[in-house]
A and B are shown apart, each in its own frame.
Chain A
Amino acid sequence: MGFLCRDCLSVEPPENGTKCPACGSVRTAAHEELHALGIAHLDCDAFYATVEKRDNPSLKNRPVLVGGAGGRGVVTAACYVARRYGCRSAMPMFRARQLCPQAVVIPPDMAKYARVGRDVRALMLETTPLVEPISVDEAFLDLSGTERLHRGSPARTLARLARRIESEIGIDASIGLSHNKFLAKIASDAGKPRGFFVVGRAETQTFLADRPVSALWGAGRELCRRLEGDGFRRMGDLLACSEEFLVDRYGAIGSRLWRFARGEDGRRVDPVSHRKSVSAETTFSRDLAAPEELKARLWPLCEKVAARAKADGIAGAMVVLKLKGADFRIRTRRRTLPHPTQLAERLWRAGAVLLTLEADGTRFRLIGIGLSGLCPAAEADPPDLAEPDGERIKAVETAMDTLRARFGDTAISRGRRLTPSPRRPGR
């Protein structure tokens, strides 16, 4: 039986019980295949809320909700204290506040989370170059074959990584360890918070059988509804079906369902980013129809998307505008730029043209903008003879970015961020 103490990293198993014989800690892991598994999924716990608690220790034991505070705000992260009251992420904020009126609501500071996320990723990359980020706070790691390099099994290296994230960055993370990505992802979720959950080859089938089909990678709300309607509630229910049947019934994803239900996943941990787009969106506190008001909401989103693209060293050639009407119907409109860009100004110019075409008096509840057709930043915004202003736009934005880096994100913006006041038309 493999043994690991997550506090002192000792692998000396106790004679009986589960306490670490070296340090007496109860945070230990024991599993037949513990030291033989190499694919991990690392996920920070209640990431945004944890970062806020780290930066304001007085919040430590209080329920914290990160998200929009307005009438239609949505919880983006709920700390584990708030979760005890039933608050969950993606829940409407008003509902979360009903459940937990004493909760501290903090508007999200995406730039800060991105910075912390980068710190976490830097520690991962010190462990292995085979890091496949999925979002700002989670990633797959492949530590197979690193035993000699790190003088210990992947499990021990991961426990050390989690310990470093806690001590050096000040946030908690959960780790799922298994023999493929799909299982590692489910495992990290199973052990939360501060978890360390192992799924070995031997118990793969039994571990999965009782999991809901919603845990299947790629199964969204619509597919889950269909699966459940067809009587497939647990992954074990899918085992009785042939692959052909699932493909016939659900299309190409059927074959993936068939393999995942058996705990098979041949995908490798791929450190190259396969991200297809960068985007940002916001839901208004009341429906908006006036082009000027919509545009004022669009600009900060352009700045947000551009900041993310710049931070990640990517650029995109296609601008996608998303609008959700008061009737919840979603419109997306896209426009390809002559060159890939990572500048907020170029995003805004294209986005504003698309928006002008759509702002026909329809009332909207949400606006979003994104970049797709991604490429490395080196290809972004080349000098262009047909755009004499291009270099100036770039210089202005670079200057604004420099100011923000020194004095904070709110140090400078453009006047178009401001909405014309309807009450004082004369001023």
Chain B
Amino acid sequence: MKMTIERGALLRSLTHAQSVVERRNTIPILANVLISAQNGAVELTATDMDLAVVERVAAEVSQAGSTTVSAHTLFDIVRKLEDGAQIEIGVGAEEGQLVLRCGRSNLKLATLASEDFPVMSDDDMPHSFLVSAASLRSLIDRTRFAISTEETRYYLNGIYLHAAEGEGGKVLRAVATDGHRLARMEVPLPDGADGMPGVIVPRKTVNELRKLIDEAEGDVAVTLSDTKIRFGVEDIVLTSKLIDGTFPDYDRVIPLGNDKVLEVNRKPFERAVDLVSTISTEKSRAIKLSLNDGLLVLSATSPDAGSATEELEVDYSDGELEIGFNSRYLLDITQQILGDSAQFALADAASPTLVRDSSDASALYVLMPMRV
């Protein structure tokens, strides 16, 4: 194997590869990136066995071949090389060595045989569709904060992606919940996604995918089966196993009948929640919302820190109500609202509250109150 590659292009794809590779590995080869050079391009592959990223980078290949080296080491080296430099990569004279030359720098890295690199099996993936990178970004951004980290309920450790019947027709829907809050976001259903099964995309995959599509324009090709999902973004292919579990029947916890409606100006509300929550205890982060016609009083007290209140004029006329929330969760939600005002639909101090962007019906959030 022998090739020449531009530093910037290599660095960019190594950034993706090293982020997939776990810092600690019991299987040594999983710490490595597979480099395989064919005519005109090199393919970099990194995997943690649940998730694999394959990225094609243009390179001048004078001799085809493949090997694997430590992803983090190679990334650190390339990161420290001069921008715009050309890097020469080849197999060393001694067996088990990769030689890297750049200007007057000369590095030799230990390799492991590419035959031992685990390949994610290429199952039949019967469903495929194209979704715009922008849609995918908003599906992820609006929901991923609510993904649970609780290991016993592993089926909550991802985003539930499925086709559903929305208010204005068929939609592709993303849902995440940790039991305390639930986030649901939908976009019009892409062609070809109609018969797709509901799948739970693991948190790590969601986060890696989000990085890959951060600046992407155009469409992302999605193909999936019951057990795997693959995203094609430009020259990158991300393949991931899906969480094998049943996502809860979330429709039943969305309180569409709540009749006490509160409209708040998002920015002043966020600022007030943030300010008042400074006083609430570190553990519960609880703040109290006291509602009266036209007026919202936010308050928090802590036996150690003191107390805080702030008043906000709001659009509300459904009678007195006091309800407590975790301020962190409130902010997580309002930060996903892009419009100027947020709408809260409440029932009582013990029942779930529905939150929406007043000007955008595509996302909705459900938040459990806390006793205060």
A residues bordering B, Cβ < 8 Å?
A: 335-339, 382-388
Specify which chain B residues have a CB less than 8 angstroms from the CB of A385 in the assembled complex.
177, 179-182, 248, 250, 253, 352, 366, 368
Residue B249, interface by CB 8 Å: yes
Residue B289, interface by CB 8 Å: no
Residue B163, interface by CB 8 Å: no
**When chains A and B are docked, how far (Å) is the Cα of A71 from the Cα of B259?**
63
Specify which chain B residues have a CB less than 8 angstroms from the CB of A383 in the assembled complex.
350-352, 368
B178 touches A386 (CB 8 A): yes
A339 to B, closest residue via Cβ: B179
B367 to A, closest residue via Cβ: A385
A387 touches B248 (CB 8 A): yes
B150 to A, closest residue via Cβ: A338
B351 to A, closest residue via Cβ: A383
**When chains A and B are docked, how far (Å) is the Cα of A338 from the Cα of B149?**
11
A384 to B, closest residue via Cβ: B179
Residue B252, interface by CB 8 Å: yes
Residue B156, interface by CB 8 Å: yes
**When chains A and B are docked, how far (Å) is the Cα of A372 from the Cα of B220?**
48
**When chains A and B are docked, how far (Å) is the Cα of A382 from the Cα of B368?**
10
A386 touches B368 (CB 8 A): no
B182 to A, closest residue via Cβ: A385
Interface size on B, residues (CB 8 A): 21
Top 10 nearest A-B pairs by Cβ distance? A388-B252, A386-B179, A384-B179, A385-B182, A385-B253, A386-B177, A385-B177, A388-B249, A386-B248, A388-B253
B317-372 interface (Cβ within 8 A of A): 350-352, 366, 368
B250 touches A388 (CB 8 A): yes
Specify which chain B residues have a CB less than 8 angstroms from the CB of A384 in the assembled complex.
179, 368
B residues bordering A, Cβ < 8 Å?
A: 148, 150, 152-153, 156, 177-182, 248-250, 252-253, 350-352, 366, 368
Specify which chain A residues have a CB less than 8 angstroms from the CB of B152 in the assembled complex.
335-338
Instruction: For residue A286, give the distance in angstroms from its CB to the closest CB of chain B.
Output: 34
Specify which chain B residues have a CB less than 8 angstroms from the CB of A388 in the assembled complex.
248-250, 252-253
Q: List 11 A-B contacts (CB under 8 A).
A: A336-B152, A339-B179, A384-B368, A385-B182, A385-B248, A385-B352, A386-B148, A386-B153, A386-B177, A388-B249, A388-B253
A379 to B, closest residue via Cβ: B371
Seed contacts A385-B248, A385-B366, A386-B182; 20 additional CB < 8 Å A-B pairs: A335-B152, A336-B152, A338-B152, A339-B179, A383-B350, A383-B351, A383-B368, A384-B368, A385-B177, A385-B181, A385-B368, A386-B177, A386-B178, A386-B248, A387-B248, A388-B248, A388-B249, A388-B250, A388-B252, A388-B253
**When chains A and B are docked, how far (Å) is the Cα of A335 from the Cα of B250?**
24
A386 touches B252 (CB 8 A): no
Specify which chain A residues have a CB less than 8 angstroms from the CB of B181 in the assembled complex.
385
Chain B CB within 10 Å, residue with most, of A335, A339, A383: A383
Specify which chain B residues have a CB less than 8 angstroms from the CB of A386 in the assembled complex.
148, 153, 156, 177-179, 182, 248
**When chains A and B are docked, how far (Å) is the Cα of A201 from the Cα of B153?**
57
Specify which chain A residues have a CB less than 8 angstroms from the CB of B156 in the assembled complex.
386
**When chains A and B are docked, how far (Å) is the Cα of A147 from the Cα of B320?**
52
**When chains A and B are docked, how far (Å) is the Cα of A383 from the Cα of B177?**
13
**When chains A and B are docked, how far (Å) is the Cα of A387 from the Cα of B148?**
13
**When chains A and B are docked, how far (Å) is the Cα of A387 from the Cα of B250?**
8
State the majority secondary structure of interface residues on A: loop
Instruction: For residue B81, give the distance in angstroms from its CB to the closest CB of chain A.
Output: 47
Specify which chain A residues have a CB less than 8 angstroms from the CB of B153 in the assembled complex.
338, 386
Specify which chain A residues have a CB less than 8 angstroms from the CB of B150 in the assembled complex.
338
Instruction: For residue B1, give the distance in angstroms from its CB to the closest CB of chain A.
Output: 46
**When chains A and B are docked, how far (Å) is the Cα of A388 from the Cα of B177?**
12
Specify which chain A residues have a CB less than 8 angstroms from the CB of B252 in the assembled complex.
388
Specify which chain B residues have a CB less than 8 angstroms from the CB of A382 in the assembled complex.
368
Specify which chain B residues have a CB less than 8 angstroms from the CB of A339 in the assembled complex.
179
Specify which chain A residues have a CB less than 8 angstroms from the CB of B178 in the assembled complex.
386
Specify which chain A residues have a CB less than 8 angstroms from the CB of B179 in the assembled complex.
338-339, 384-387
Chain B CB within 10 Å, residue with most, of A335, A336, A385: A385
Instruction: For residue B234, give the distance in angstroms from its CB to the closest CB of chain A.
Output: 35
**When chains A and B are docked, how far (Å) is the Cα of A343 from the Cα of B368?**
21
**When chains A and B are docked, how far (Å) is the Cα of A233 from the Cα of B64?**
81
Instruction: For residue A394, give the distance in angstroms from its CB to the closest CB of chain B.
Output: 13
Specify which chain B residues have a CB less than 8 angstroms from the CB of A337 in the assembled complex.
152
**When chains A and B are docked, how far (Å) is the Cα of A385 from the Cα of B150?**
14
**When chains A and B are docked, how far (Å) is the Cα of A83 from the Cα of B279?**
63
**When chains A and B are docked, how far (Å) is the Cα of A335 from the Cα of B151?**
10
**When chains A and B are docked, how far (Å) is the Cα of A335 from the Cα of B249?**
24
A350 to B, closest residue via Cβ: B152
Instruction: For residue B368, give the distance in angstroms from its CB to the closest CB of chain A.
Output: 6
Instruction: For residue A380, give the distance in angstroms from its CB to the closest CB of chain B.
Output: 13
Specify which chain B residues have a CB less than 8 angstroms from the CB of A387 in the assembled complex.
179, 248
**When chains A and B are docked, how far (Å) is the Cα of A68 from the Cα of B215?**
71
Instruction: For residue A320, give the distance in angstroms from its CB to the closest CB of chain B.
Output: 14
Specify which chain B residues have a CB less than 8 angstroms from the CB of A336 in the assembled complex.
152
Instruction: For residue B338, give the distance in angstroms from its CB to the closest CB of chain A.
Output: 23
Instruction: For residue B335, give the distance in angstroms from its CB to the closest CB of chain A.
Output: 19
Specify which chain A residues have a CB less than 8 angstroms from the CB of B253 in the assembled complex.
385, 388
**When chains A and B are docked, how far (Å) is the Cα of A383 from the Cα of B368?**
8
**When chains A and B are docked, how far (Å) is the Cα of A398 from the Cα of B149?**
31
B352 to A, closest residue via Cβ: A385
**When chains A and B are docked, how far (Å) is the Cα of A67 from the Cα of B117?**
62
Instruction: For residue B2, give the distance in angstroms from its CB to the closest CB of chain A.
Output: 52
**When chains A and B are docked, how far (Å) is the Cα of A338 from the Cα of B249?**
18
Instruction: For residue B175, give the distance in angstroms from its CB to the closest CB of chain A.
Output: 10
**When chains A and B are docked, how far (Å) is the Cα of A216 from the Cα of B59?**
78
Instruction: For residue A343, give the distance in angstroms from its CB to the closest CB of chain B.
Output: 16
Specify which chain A residues have a CB less than 8 angstroms from the CB of B248 in the assembled complex.
385-388
Specify which chain B residues have a CB less than 8 angstroms from the CB of A338 in the assembled complex.
150, 152-153, 179
**When chains A and B are docked, how far (Å) is the Cα of A338 from the Cα of B148?**
11
**When chains A and B are docked, how far (Å) is the Cα of A339 from the Cα of B148?**
14
**When chains A and B are docked, how far (Å) is the Cα of A337 from the Cα of B178?**
13
Instruction: For residue A219, give the distance in angstroms from its CB to the closest CB of chain B.
Output: 37
Instruction: For residue B180, give the distance in angstroms from its CB to the closest CB of chain A.
Output: 7
**When chains A and B are docked, how far (Å) is the Cα of A385 from the Cα of B181?**
7
A382 to B, closest residue via Cβ: B368
Instruction: For residue A80, give the distance in angstroms from its CB to the closest CB of chain B.
Output: 49
**When chains A and B are docked, how far (Å) is the Cα of A385 from the Cα of B178?**
7
**When chains A and B are docked, how far (Å) is the Cα of A335 from the Cα of B152?**
8
B371 to A, closest residue via Cβ: A378
Instruction: For residue A47, give the distance in angstroms from its CB to the closest CB of chain B.
Output: 38
**When chains A and B are docked, how far (Å) is the Cα of A373 from the Cα of B15?**
43
B251 to A, closest residue via Cβ: A388
Instruction: For residue A383, give the distance in angstroms from its CB to the closest CB of chain B.
Output: 6
**When chains A and B are docked, how far (Å) is the Cα of A386 from the Cα of B158?**
13
**When chains A and B are docked, how far (Å) is the Cα of A51 from the Cα of B309?**
57
Chain A CB within 10 Å, residue with most, of B152, B182, B249: B152
Specify which chain A residues have a CB less than 8 angstroms from the CB of B352 in the assembled complex.
383, 385
B181 to A, closest residue via Cβ: A385
**When chains A and B are docked, how far (Å) is the Cα of A388 from the Cα of B246?**
13
**When chains A and B are docked, how far (Å) is the Cα of A408 from the Cα of B350?**
32
**When chains A and B are docked, how far (Å) is the Cα of A335 from the Cα of B150?**
12
